[in-house]
Structure 1
Amino acid sequence: MGDADVRLMADPRLWLRGRFGLVALGIAVICAGTDAAVMLLFGPPMNKWRPITLLIAAIVVDLALAAPPRWVAWVAGAHAAVFILSPLLMPGRPATEPEVNNFGALIAAFLAGAWLRNRPAGLVLAGLIAAGVIGHGIERDPQSGWDLIILTSSASILLPGLVGRLTITHRTYLADLERRTERLTREREIAIREAVADDRGALARDLHDGLSHHMSAISIHAGAARLALADSPPGGAQQALTSVESASRSAMLDLRRLLDLLHGQPEESDRQAGLGSVEELLVGVRAAGLPVTLTVTGAERELPASLDVALYRIVQEALTNALRHGNGDNARVNIDYEADAILVAVTNGLGERPAAGWQTSMGRGLAGICSRVRLFGGEVGCGPEGATWQLRVRVPLDAE
């Protein structure tokens, strides 16, 4: 039984105002009219108080079929009482006359099977059958034997009761399907939103890592060009401006590639850089004025594309922070291919700013590094080691 059905049974006002209540009222009126018409046409003459009382009782219990589901057991009990009351008020009725509440009793059995739980429904149906058998036994001499009376009484009550149970079971099954569909729809919408958020986060990290690196290089080269022009050594200014041009071009290429991804138009030729492109990255860093060396140990292997790009971006972000906050001493990039993991470490000299202040100033950069590493089940460690700052990233190669 669904939540809506429970609310209907708990609040009669909802039942009376709802479409189920209107349908139940129509059924009750039809049953009352039909049973009354059958009794008037085929029953005893309505010239004494006994048949009139019996007619009124049949109409009342039939109209009670419009009551909310919480009263189903009581309504079925009233119909059972009419079964027994009928032979007591009208003894000796001929066997050809139908039951005074025949149609109403069928609907009462149906409602009991539909609305009540298994045990209460079984008790109500058994009560109706017993009342029918007792009524027949009081009213008429069972010349054909009790077996036929019991069989017909049981069939006339059990069949509508089982149909009612089948109806509510089918309805409950459909309600479960609807709830399951709604739940799957909500889960799919949540998954889509999370996937979109993850994609946006990844693109934001790429924009931050790539553009911040190039813009830092542009800023350093522009400052060098300004100083070179002031001191009038033409060669130094030309080299610095050339580096500014190269860094800005790289920034524009990265921006265009990410915008193409946002528009759903990735180019195969614009494959994102990986660890194989670290040496090209170091060329730009050296041109910006930071000496840096690369050391690769272990047996190099092909990495999953997403991990390869993530590690490249991590190295790029670490060198960008070294350009911004380091003291310009020799920086080192170590890539170690272990048996079941890959270790990337970037070390550079500390600047004048305290290490805690530098860590705070990294902001989105450090958060982006941690996010990337967590996606692959890796570990991140960073902090000062003497006069240097070191970033260490270890990612298991079986995480993908």
Structure 2
Amino acid sequence: MRAFALLWDSEGVWELVVAAVACLAAAFFAVRLVSARRAYARAVEERGWLLERERESAARGAVDAERARIARELHDIVSHNVSVMVVQAGAARRVLGSDRAVDALLAVESAGRDTMAELRHMLGLLAPSADSDELLEPQPGLSRLGALVDKMCFAGLPVDVRISGEPRPLPSGVDLTAYRIVQEALTNALKHGDGQKAEVLVRYADHHLRVEVLSTGLKGVSTSDGEGRGLLGLRQRVAVLGGDLDARRRLGGGFRVRAKLPVEGP
């Protein structure tokens, strides 16, 4: 004990103790600092990886959405025009040798030309070239409703059209969707109906556009529940625009497609 007390009272012992504690403290904080920097570097690396994954996911989502849009466009184009071609080809087969055969075959040719023109438009959007603008035709809208109705009437489906309100220019998405709704509904009526008649109602209001297609008879079942591929595509189109679409059987027979599309006021 006496030796320990003498050592404790020796000159410089306190300085050694303080120096040792200071070294230990410095080492401790150095280790903590290095550990914190490594953790920060890992967090930055992980955040960069997550951001890259999010960018890749967003890019894939954009590509998938664009592919879905193009698939709906191609379905609308091919389904409508080829359906008309099939109906007219059947008519030509049944009346081959008569004057009506020539008219039916001309209708097939016209529908085929329309299909090729719209497919060129879609392919031009997928792979535009320097001179592709000259080959592209504008997307259809309600301005082409008369030509669509004439084609359906010639194919054997009488169609009445009623337009109310003050017609005005529409946003391109609304205009195209309205046309596709009428096109899909009339095509289904031509394929699955009894060929009696169809009615198209278009109403321009201040803040929305209403489109309704009524058809009589329904021989097939693919559209009886309003969930065919074409109608599903229309539902997606209308939903993107913030509108509503209802498709169902009519109580008195036939089918009804009704849509409400929001538009800006005049």
Please give the TM-score of this superposition, normalised by the length of structure 2: 0.84
Pair 1:192-2:192 in alignment: no
Pair 1:286-2:153 in alignment: yes
Q: Tell whether the 8 Å contact from 1:377 to 1:396 is kept in structure 2 after alignment.
A: yes
Paired position in structure 1 for 2:241: 376
Distance 2:152 2:109 in 1: 14
CA RMSD of aligned residues (A): 2.8
Evaluate the alpha carbon distance shift between residue 292 and residue 138 of structure 1 in structure 2; reply closer, same or farther with a 3 A threshold: farther
Pair 1:237-2:80 in alignment: no
Q: Tell whether the 8 Å contact from 1:321 to 1:362 is kept in structure 2 after alignment.
A: no
Q: Tell whether the 8 Å contact from 1:211 to 1:254 is kept in structure 2 after alignment.
A: no
1:216 pairs with 57, 61, 83, which one? 83
Evaluate the alpha carbon distance shift between residue 165 and residue 337 of structure 1 in structure 2; reply closer, same or farther with a 3 A threshold: farther
- Secondary structure of the structure 1 residue equivalent to 2:176: helix
**Offset at 1:215?**
0.9
Per mean C-alpha deviation after superposition, the further-off stretch among 150-159 and 310-319 is 150-159
Pair 1:298-2:162 in alignment: no
Distance 1:363 1:299 in 2: 33
Give CA-to-partner distance per residue, 1:369-388, whole Å, 9 cap, x none. 22222222322211122133
**Offset at 1:242?**
1.3
Evaluate the alpha carbon distance shift between residue 270 and residue 139 of structure 1 in structure 2; reply closer, same or farther with a 3 A threshold: farther
Distance 2:40 2:204 in 1: 56
What stretches of structure 1 of length at least 5 have no aligned partner? 1-87, 93-136
- Secondary structure of the structure 1 residue equivalent to 2:96: helix
Paired position in structure 2 for 1:51: none
Distance 1:203 1:138 in 2: 94
**Offset at 1:213?**
0.8
Give CA-to-partner distance per residue, 1:155-190, whole Å, 9 cap, x none. 322222222222222211111111111111112222
Pair 1:342-2:206 in alignment: no
Evaluate the alpha carbon distance shift between residue 153 and residue 301 of structure 1 in structure 2; reply closer, same or farther with a 3 A threshold: farther
Give CA-to-partner distance per residue, 1:238-264, whole Å, 9 cap, x none. 221211110011111122222222224
Q: Tell whether the 8 Å contact from 1:275 to 1:312 is kept in structure 2 after alignment.
A: yes
Amino acid aligned to 1:396: P
1:227 pairs with 71, 86, 94, which one? 94
Q: Tell whether the 8 Å contact from 2:212 to 2:258 is kept in structure 1 after alignment.
A: yes
- Superposed counterparts of 1:1-400, under 5 Å: 139-141=7-9, 143=11, 151-230=18-97, 232=98, 234=99, 236-265=100-129, 267=133, 269-353=136-220, 358-359=223-224, 363-385=228-250, 386-397=252-263
Count, aligned residues: 259
- Secondary structure of the structure 2 residue equivalent to 1:328: coil
Distance 2:191 2:219 in 1: 11
Q: Tell whether the 8 Å contact from 2:211 to 2:258 is kept in structure 1 after alignment.
A: yes
**Offset at 1:389?**
1.2
**Offset at 1:323?**
0.8
Percentage identity across aligned positions? 37
**Offset at 1:196?**
1.6
Evaluate the alpha carbon distance shift between residue 310 and residue 267 of structure 1 in structure 2; reply closer, same or farther with a 3 A threshold: farther
Evaluate the alpha carbon distance shift between residue 292 and residue 168 of structure 1 in structure 2; reply closer, same or farther with a 3 A threshold: same
Evaluate the alpha carbon distance shift between residue 252 and residue 357 of structure 1 in structure 2; reply closer, same or farther with a 3 A threshold: closer
Amino acid aligned to 1:267: D
Highest relative contact order (Cα 8 Å, sep 6+), 1 or 2?
Answer: 2
Amino acid aligned to 2:78: L
For the pair shown, which has the larger CA radius of gyration, 1 or 2? 1
Q: Tell whether the 8 Å contact from 2:235 to 2:245 is kept in structure 1 after alignment.
A: yes
**Offset at 1:357?**
5.2
Amino acid aligned to 2:89: A
More helix by share: 1
